[in-house]
Structure 1
Amino acid sequence: MKSSIRRFLSGVAAAAIALTGLALGVSSAQAETTENKDTGTITVTASNGTAGHELTAYKIAAYNSGEYAATSDGKLDTSTFKYIVDQGDESAIETALDATSISATASGTRTKAEEGLKQLSEDSSAAPYGYKQGTNEGESNERKFADKLASLKSSTTSTWTPSYSLQMTADKDTNTFTATLPEGLYLILDGYTSGQSAANSTQSVPMIVGTTFANTNIKDSGNVGKVTLKDTSAPITKEVVTDKTGTKQDNNPSYNTTDTVYFKLTTKIPNYDGYASDPTLKNTKTTRQFSIIDTFEAGKFTDPNVESVYDGDHLLTVNSDFDVTLSSGTGSSANNVVTIDFERLVNKEPKAWQGWNSGDTISVIVSGKLSTAATATTAGSTAGTGADTLGNNNTVQLEYSNNPSDTSSKTTVQGPIVNVYTHRFTINKIKADGTALPGATFQVSTGSTPLKFTKDDIDGAYVVNNDDKNATTDLVSGEDGKIVVKGVKASAPGVTYMVKETKVPTTGGYLQSVAPTYTVTLKDEFKNDSTNPARASDTATTAGDDWLIGLQYDYTQDGYKLVTAGADTTDAPTGDTATVKNVTSITQLPKTGAAGIAMFTIIGVAVIAVAALFAVRARKAAQRA
């Protein structure tokens, strides 16, 4: 197994038995004591937290307290040390030893069980975590012994009732379990409780560790009495990215409705050493679980899709390495929950790629279109984490097997929730007297291209829709004079929309020559969620997870200043609503010179018309001559 992988999951669920208590090849000691009144300590460090774990220490053998001694340099004098096994524990220990390659017989003052423990402590193995890589088959004698002894204690037909046991004390502040107990060698079992409320962790494989020494003359005891919990955790991160390559995070996640939004999900393959596997995927108790569940906010996205899945640089294949399923989320009939299931891969189903390793990075690009029913906002929020009610969110979870003896038991890890945004503005169409004016037609353009819209059946707003063949570029003011434009994007430098009245109401005598055109520029401001651990690249400093904290509307008025902040002012709009007047006479224009401009415009048009009339008449007269 690659060293980088071992570093990533140094506390993996399949980790090897702790050799720090199997001290020490032993020589004969003369006295044999069945009671041990001296105490030592065991400390278990839980790197992934103590939540969900309940550790119990079961005595295997005592030290020969009061008889073992220290050498001149403060280390244990192994010639004076031995294990002492209680008679009631001998049968179980002998059975566990029989599962190894050790052949032990009673010798001198040592029983078969004590002689076997001596040989066990002398065995060493370079096998990762004591298992054959990627399997639940013990390779070292220590691992075989620990697993067999644990099965004698934990099975429904338990055949071993240890002579002494003690539940260890958890300290969540230091992420440790501690116990003070009679000196000796112990089997530590983890009564793990799975579930989303528990830590991002798995059940530890059985551990064997010896206590510290009561003899204070031993100044250098190495790591005796200390062990790291043999569990694992797996990360799940998420961020918005700019395109399907996923190479760049999107720190300005503002979109038009019907735009495609891309998200990058990242995790690592847990270490499954110690876990059974089933390439046929038929036995739920031995089929490893590993899946990513991505959820688009119900009703706010359409067309969910898995764009690509990679193990490192290797492109994985759907229906060979993984499966994709769509299901409905709460509150919507749309398929907004996407599950990417890697059962085939991690169980080495025959047609799946066989080249993966524990600790490999899995990256997934998923996409969805921002729905015409998406939440459109006119303001920013207070920057935070999780789901923003003014945005449209996407969340992710990871599920993976957490129990070496039952792979159907899973840990669920909640990943980041990220948001994307779209915006709105309003055209308030009025008469010169300030009352509502229905029937005016507008177009909204970016550059020279009019946007296409469909009408929201619920609120009557016009929503950007590039997917509907029946979408229109014409927006018509309703009875209240309002046109609500939804589903438009913004940016930090600003996205400018040109709003043009293309058709003045045909009734009411409104001047056609003074139909206003104006622009509105939407500028947004975001703040990064620094709690999101996702990174799009090694050089990235912020994830693509940003909260909209500000939205600004900047206007340029028409030449007649018919586009204002309200009916009774000539000031430019400043918020999300622009008031737009139509007039029936130039006398109704604002008294700012615009009436004169309009007069010259009208006179100019009339002069041109008269000139054209005279030209026509002159040509006709010439033809008759």
Structure 2
Amino acid sequence: MKMRKLFAGIAAAATLLGGMALGATSAQADDTPTPVTEKATFTFTAETAEQLNNAQLKAYKIGDYVQYGSGTDAAYGVVTNLDNKNAVDSALKAAEVTTADGQDKLAAALSTGALDISATRPWNTNANNQPSVTRAFANALESENNLADGTQVKFTAAPIGPDESGYYSATVSLQAGIYVFIDSAVATGSVTKAIPMIVASGTVKDKVLTDPVNGANTVNMKNTKNSVKTKKVDKDSAAIGDTLTYTLTGTIANPAPTEFKFTDKPGKGLTIKAGTFEFYADDAKVSAADFTGVPTSDVIGGENVSFEVSVKDPSKYAGKTIRVTFNAMVNDDASVIDGVVNSLDNYGTNVEAKTGFVGFDFTKVDPDGKGIENVTFQVKEGDTVLYFVKQNGSYKKAVSANTPDATSEVKTDASGKLAFTGLDATKTYTVTETKRASDVYLDINPSFTVRFENSNAVLFRTGISDPWGLVNTTDKTVKNVKSITQLPLTGAAGTTLFTVVALLVAGAGVTVAVKSRQRMH
């Protein structure tokens, strides 16, 4: 909301309450008062049309206008509405307004200026920054629940606007007088419930009510547009077993609603870690004691799983932005296709924070390009050996070695293929052959690395990790051979080949020498 809109609303509210606070004259004992029955138009303004559309207002008349005399000699006064006299007197007492015995208490409170103006959000203090008597009076009228049945407010037309100041408005026609408007609406994703509003019709001049019908008769709706609740996760991509940090954010309206909470819905594959929750108000860390519903044990995510973290006293943090952070581990139930999703209820609409997984595959082949079955490989992240569980023809990363059926020795299938899932697109993995399929093949163990570009796996090899050039990074194949004559003879691999041949020849020489000695014996 732009600041000019806020101040425009404050000015409208101040004008209205100022008129009410000053708009009473004492009754003249020698005249017979005549009730003012003309209709007045009351205007409600708001920053959004939703604030007006969502409100379920009832108008309770608390003050009647009466006329003494007529024509140019006419004067006007205020008397408490008879149907609500007990409620008004009780609410004034609750607001600590004292009047002399025998006086009309509402008229006396107005004429003495006991009812002040609360001009700024949340409309609970006056111009001297003291607790507002008018706000206490209005709240008491609502909370004491002893008002006579009111009139359901039906706006004469749909809200119009916005005007030049960015405000929407709607009107209702009621008999001239003083009203308290009470909202019974339930807060939505757009707006809060309005606090009670005291509104008076007419014009006040020099502390005298000169016209009981025509005047500003305008009040800014005292509900507030809810800010959107958001949810973020620190990683768009992760691996199974990783820890994610979630942040829930929302601003408490001012005036504060009666309830403010975050409803978190951890999906399948997430374990919310108790003891990791931290709380902030406008970036300053605050006590966990100000919140309820914080999990005291780990929460395993799944369908229809949720927990609620509520602010104990929303008014303590009115107008402040609340942040809640916590950690969650990606567990073995995570879907490698859908990733893990943690949702936040944003006034009936889910806000999702999703973390996905990536994978890669390659094929072990013989010199003819035919797949080799049952070749063993190992995958590392840095120096850490990773564990996998075979699932649906591929190997899904496991949280740890303790995961049932987890293994660090993965084997190619009948077509020579190996596929891995549940990995992190931001990490680099090293794949090393650890055991050949059989003695038919040479015992050569090439190695290569896998990185991800736009979630697509890219293979890399070096002359050190794969001196024979057995890894084809384009075709994503790893070759093995049955004879050294089938090895590539290029680059570092060719140089190494000569060394191997020399060793083989040297070994043959040793064998010949041994046999020669045997003949001499």
Aligned to 2:265: 295
Cα separation, 1, equivalents of 2:484 and 2:68: 112
Q: 1:209: how far off?
A: 0.8
Residue number in structure 2 paired with 1:191: 184
Residue 608 (structure 1) aligns with: 503
Kindly provide the amino acid, as one letter, of the partner of residue 607 in structure 1.
Answer: A
Whole-Å separation in 2 of the counterparts to 1:147 and 1:106: 25
Letter in 2 for 1:183: A
Structure 1 residues 458-497: aligned runs within 5 Å: 459-463=393-397, 465-466=399-400, 468=402, 472-491=407-426, 495-497=427-429
Aligned in 2, Cα 1:237/1:208: closer, same or farther, shift over 3 Å? same
Contact 2:291–2:309 (CA under 8 A) maintained in structure 1: no
Q: CA deviation at 1:266?
A: 3.1
CA distance change for structure 1 residues 361 and 68 in 2, over 3 Å: closer, same or farther? farther
SS in 2 for 1:609: helix
1:422 correspondence with 2:357? yes
Structure 2 counterpart SS, 1:461: strand
2-structure distance, mates of 1:339, 1:421: 25
1:510 to 426, 438, 441: 441
Q: Which residue of 2 aligns with 1:403?
A: none
Match of 1:255 among 238, 257, 261: 238
Query: How many pairs align?
Result: 484
- The Cα shift of 1:504 comes to 2.0
CA gap 1:429/1:617 in 2 versus in 1, 3 angstroms:
closer
Deviation per CA, 1:135-192: give whole Å up to 9, x if none: xxx965433443444457xx4xx56245x66433663975554323343322211121
Structure 1 residues 200, 464: CA separation in 2 closer, same or farther (over 3 Å shift)? same
Q: In structure 2, what residue type is equivalent to 1:124?
A: D
1:17/1:130 contact within 8 Å kept = no
The answer to whether the 8 A contact 2:269-2:335 is kept is no
Structure 2 residue 20 is matched with structure 1 residue 22: yes
2:142 matches 1:208: no
Match of 2:388 among 454, 458, 477: 454
Pairing of 1:515-554 with structure 2 (within 5 A): 516-524=446-454, 551-554=455-458
Report if the CA contact (8 A) 1:322-1:340 is conserved: yes
Following the alignment from structure 2 to structure 1, what is the Cα–Cα distance between the partners of residues 374 and 348? 54
Greater relative CO (CA pairs within 8 A, separation 6+):
1
Cα offset for 1:232?
7.1
Q: Name 1:82's counterpart in structure 2.
A: 77
How far is 1:477 from its partner? 0.9
| Cα distance between partner residues in 1 of 2:65 and 2:76 | 7
1:501, CA displacement in angstroms? 2.4
**Alpha carbons 1:462, 1:475 under 8 Å: kept:** no
In 1, the alpha carbon distance for the partners of 2:71 and 2:336 equals 77
Q: Which 10-residue stretch deviates more, 198-207 or 166-175? A: 166-175
2:486 maps to 1:555 = no
1:498 aligned to 2:430? Answer: yes
**Structure in which a larger fraction of residues adopt helix:** 2
Q: State whether residues 16 and 217 of structure 2, in contact with CA within 8 Å, keep that contact through their aligned partners in structure 1.
A: no
Look up the match of 2:172.
Answer: 179
Matched, 1:237 2:237: no
35-44 or 46-55, which moves further after superposition? 46-55
Aligned to 1:43: 44
Q: Quickly say closer, same or farther: Cα 1:255–1:99, change in 2 above 3 A.
A: closer
Deviation by residue 1:585-622 (Cα, 9 ceiling, x = unmatched): 56767xxx658997875564232232255469889999
Paired residue type of 2:303: G
Distance 2:44 2:349 in 1: 29
Q: Secondary structure at the match of 1:22?
A: helix
> 1:372 touches 1:487 (CA, 8 Å); kept in 2?
no
3-state SS, counterpart of residue 19 of structure 1: helix
CA contact (8 A) 1:43 1:225 kept: yes
Offset from partner CA, 1:359-407 (integer Å, 9 cap, x none)? 4544332111222443436xxxxxxxxxxxx442222347xxxxxxxxx
Q: Distance in 2 between matches of 1:520 and 1:599?
A: 25
1:160-171 matches, cutoff 5 A: 160-161=148-149, 166-168=153-155, 171=159
Larger Rg: 2
SS of residue paired to 2:178: strand
Contact 2:401 2:407 in 1 (8 A): no
What TM-score comes out, normalization by structure 2 length? 0.72
Question: In 2, are the aligned partners of 1:441 and 1:475 still within 8 Å (CA)?
Answer: yes
1:59-94 C-alpha deviation (Å, 9 max, x unpaired): 334556899999xxxxxx9x9543466655556545
- The answer on whether the counterparts of 1:258 and 1:467 sit within 8 Å (CA) in structure 2 is no
Q: Percent identity?
A: 23
RMSD between aligned residues: 5.1
**Contact 1:43 1:176 (8 Å CA) reproduced:** yes
Contact 1:38–1:214 (CA<8 Å) still a contact in 2?
Answer: no
Aligned counterparts of 1:97 and 1:300: Cα–Cα separation in 2: 54
Is the alpha carbon distance of 1:615 and 1:22 closer, same or farther for their aligned partners in structure 2, counting shifts above 3 Å? same
Whichever residue aligns with residue 518 of structure 1, its letter is: F
Give TM-score scaled by structure 1 length.
Answer: 0.62
Distance 2:351 2:15 in 1: 34
Match for 1:237: what amino acid?
T
- Counterpart residue number, 2:165: none
